[in-house]
Amino acid sequence: MRRGPRTPSAISSVLPPFRWIFPLTTLGLVLFIVIPPITLLSLSVSERFDLAYGILPSGLSFEMYTQWGGRILRSIRDSLFIAVPAVILCLLIGLPVAYALVRFKFAGRGIVSELVNLPMVFPPIVLAFGLMSLFKLGPLAPLGAWTAIILGHTVVSIPFMIRPLISALEQIDRSAEEAARSLGAGPLGAFMTVVLPNIVPSIITGMALVFARSISDFEITLLLTTPEISTMPIAIYHAFESGSTRLGAAVAMATNLFAVGVIVILEVLVRRARWW
């Protein structure tokens, strides 16, 4: 154990009583996280633009939601058209990768396991620029913008599927699978009957994470989208850009409710007490 530097005594005269630093910082962070969404919510149901104390709605009006409900629903639909295929693709492509990385010792395993992390750290704007060159100006143009966005989301969110699967697979005893094999099950049969049932919770977690990543994506979608595709983040951006702050706030709140709601439901499905 390395000994740390001694505390400079000068600090002690400036700071509040030491034990208070931790709860006070926590309180500050909680307020910083909680207040902005509350103001957005207030803004979306407020009659007037000036909020009471800058936080609470002044007068109640659901005009934004009733008047623009169709537009909000359309962007939810567009987001789903992209997120659902992305989740399925991530599962189909990601599960074999996780299985191979956990079960097999093979040449190039180190490279593959680092490649799994690459989409998470690669700058989204550079990825989007490359995709734009492929799909808008390049050889894959016939596939269209929907495919481009779905595949783009699949690439950036696939680590969120693979990583939970890896840690789930690592906890499964290999001998159970081997026992199934020795009793005559084929490799696929053994996988389906012994391995798969045990990793369902992690599959759902992975699906929730990929869904969240896809629903939230703005930086990649913005470069690939066309006027007819308006996912929720894009709709929010356009609403605020055109100056309709309250509409933007309404779409943002609907998005939050939808995105966070789906994730919470999925995680409750997994019946994990500590879903967070």
Partner 1 sequence: MKAFSAQRRETVTAWLLVAPFIALLLILLLVPFAAILLKSVSSSTAFGLPYLSGQETLSSIVPTLSNYALVLNDPHNREVIVRTLAISVVVATILAVVGIAVGYYMARRPRIAPALSAIVTYPSLAPAITIIFGILWFISSTGPINHLLFQTLEWINEPLELTGTFAAVVIGDLALFATISVRMTASLFEMVDVALEDASSSLGATERETFFNIVLPLVLPGVAAIWIFVFIRTMVAYVAALILGGGSKGVVVLPLEIFNRIQSLGISGTMAQICAFAVVLAVITLLGRFLYVLVVRRLFRGTLSVEAL
Hey, which residues between 178 and 217 contact partner 1 (CB under 8 A)?
A: 209, 212, 215-217
Among the residue ranges 64-72, 89-97, 170-178, 192-200, the one whose residues contact partner 1 (CB under 8 A): 89-97
- The binder of partner 1 chosen from 7, 188, 197, 228 (CB under 8 A): 7
Minimum gap (Å) between residue 133 Cβ and partner 1: 5
DSSP label at 172?
A: S
Burial label for 265, CB within 10 Å (0-12, 13-18, 19+), is exposed
DSSP label at 141?
A: G
Counting residues that bind partner 1 (by CB under 8 A) gives 106
x-marked contacts with partner 1 along 38-77 as a string, rule CB under 8 A: -xx--x-----xxx-xxx----------------------
Position 20 contacts partner 1 (CB under 8 A): no
Minimum CB distance to partner 1 smaller for 6 or for 271? 6
Position 16 contacts partner 1 (CB under 8 A): no
Minimum gap (Å) between residue 154 Cβ and partner 1: 7
- The binder of partner 1 chosen from 46, 68, 119, 225 (CB under 8 A): 119
Minimum CB distance to partner 1 smaller for 222 or for 269? 222
Cβ burial 107-135 (10 Å sphere, 16+ → b, else e):
eeeeeeeeebeebeeeebeebbeebbebb
- Indicate the angle between helix axes 245-269 and 232-241, nearest 10 degrees: 160
Three-class SS state of 46: strand
Minimum gap (Å) between residue 77 Cβ and partner 1: 16
Minimum gap (Å) between residue 200 Cβ and partner 1: 18
- Alpha-carbon distance 56 to 43, whole Å? 8
Q: What angle do CA 211, 216, 220 make, to 5 degrees?
A: 105
- The binder of partner 1 chosen from 14, 70, 110, 121 (CB under 8 A): 121
Which residues are bridge partners to 52 per DSSP? 56
- Alpha-carbon distance 232 to 148, whole Å? 17
Q: List the interface residues with partner 1, window 136-175 (CB under 8 A).
A: 137-139, 151-152, 154-155, 158-160, 163-164
